[in-house]
Copies of this chain bind each other. A is one copy, B any other.
Amino acid sequence: MEAWKTYQEQHKDRFLNELLELLRIPSVSARTENKDDMIACANLVKQRLLEAGADSVTIYPTAGHPIVYGEKMIDAGKPTVLVYGHYDVQPADPLELWNSGPFEPVIKDGKIFARGACDDKGQFYMHVKALETLTNTNSLPVNVKFIIEGEEEIGSPNLGIFVKEHTTLLKADVILISDTAMLSIDNPSIDVGVRGLSYIEVEVTGPNRDLHSGVYGGAVANPITILAHMITSLHDENNHITIPGFYNDVVESSAEERAELAKAPYDEAAYKEELGVTALWGEKGYSTNERTGIRPTLELNGIWGGYTGEGSKTVLPSKAHAKISCRLVPNQKHEVMTELIINHIISIAPAGVTVKAAPHHGGDPYMTPVDSIEYRAAAKAIETTFGKAPIPVRGGGSIPITALFEAELGCKVVFLGFGLDSDNLHSPNEKYDLVNFYKGIETIPYFHAFFAEMKQ
């Protein structure tokens, strides 16, 4: 066995305990009340990177949450791998649906349950431990840089600025991101694309105050009813999105690509059972994998208005709100799409209400070419540790910064993700399987080695 594998075996319990410590910090980027936790988390990431062998680590303040940058430069002549990850997590609510505290990680049935277990603390930390392993066994074949940010879950509003201002510092040959999922341990896969995102918030205002629904009911536009009408109008009877121009920039997948995607194992009965639904839903003419991979979507992420408390209140509310996000595919640009969506939503407001719509955040879609060295090094690493070549799939999620990374740093992004779709990302009871965590720590050194070889 290679020395570094023995090292990992000897230190695996400590690796896990260190991850649990990281998971105990409620680093929710969306909540101002967690601002101090964000700083504490950035400090812990810095400390762990230094312990893992990084030459230097700096915490860069931003207009929002800080960015942690670290590097281990062994030889300017060797290729450089830039690892991107994020230490922030999604809000944990609804809290009542968690079986244990979201920030009190527990191990059960070989899985770590905690907010951020998979997305993304558990995944970026594999890279920290891979660095430690290779440093301490004198086997690091590449230079490694780390950029671990604190605002991924709120759309990375400050990361783009930082990247643009630090292109020399961040210069690399490949960007490696572990923030996606694979099909299963038995069917390893690599995401060759992530969708883009346009996220907006809508406010519909009817009367200038909450009204008595008996005195005024029937005579004044109810903003909830109007918002429901507007939402309904955004899809047609085939679940195509009706916003004019929405599909203009979509690159339709070829028959070959669709045939390739169809090879991914998919068991509709199991999929439905796992979600607890009796029927699926989606755009006519596309399979489930296509609906979540190659097609853009429009989803309601939240809605509220009127009286939502206990019991009843006969109110005709003044306002109703919705959070709406679209997943984008090549070559949709998030800035263009966000403007298109906002303008459309404002344009369909009927008389009797006023509608405001504002952007939250966005990002462009991204694709990794399967014939690139970067992809091939990742595929070979996976095949080495999993004993099976990975299936290239199109991921449904978004990592808004990826398109900007390539544009600014001039190198490809590879999504070396070890999560599972069933890891309850953004949901109660988020988990990460221990086997995936350890497989990831084992796979990353192979990536470094194969990439260094192929890049020669």
- A residues bordering B, Cβ < 8 Å? 30-32, 90-91, 93-94, 97, 153-155, 181, 194-195, 197, 199, 201, 206-222, 224-225, 227-229, 231-232, 235, 275-283, 288, 291-292, 295-297, 299-317, 320-323, 325, 327, 350-353, 360-361, 395-398, 421, 424-429
Contacts and interface: CB of A to CB of B under 8 A. Distances in A.
B300 A312 contact: no
Contacts of A277: 206-208, 220-221, 352-353
Interface of A is mostly: loop
A295 B224 contact: no
Contacts of A395: 214-215
B396 A315 contact: no
Contacts of A288: 219
Contact of A195 (B214, B221, B312): B214
A197 B314 contact: yes
24 contacts: A90-B314, A153-B313, A197-B214, A208-B275, A212-B397, A215-B397, A217-B327, A217-B396, A218-B283, A218-B295, A220-B275, A225-B231, A225-B299, A228-B229, A229-B232, A232-B232, A277-B353, A280-B352, A300-B305, A301-B314, A302-B306, A303-B304, A304-B305, A311-B360
A330 to B, nearest CB: 15
Contacts of A154: 311-312
A222 B396 contact: no
Closest 10 CB pairs of A and B: A208-B276, A214-B397, A279-B351, A218-B297, A30-B311, A302-B306, A224-B300, A221-B281, A228-B231, A218-B291
Contacts of A212: 396-397, 425-427
A275 B278 CA distance: 45
A299 B213 contact: yes
A315 B119 CA distance: 14
A30 B312 CA distance: 7
Given A277-B220, A352-B277, A215 B292 contact: yes
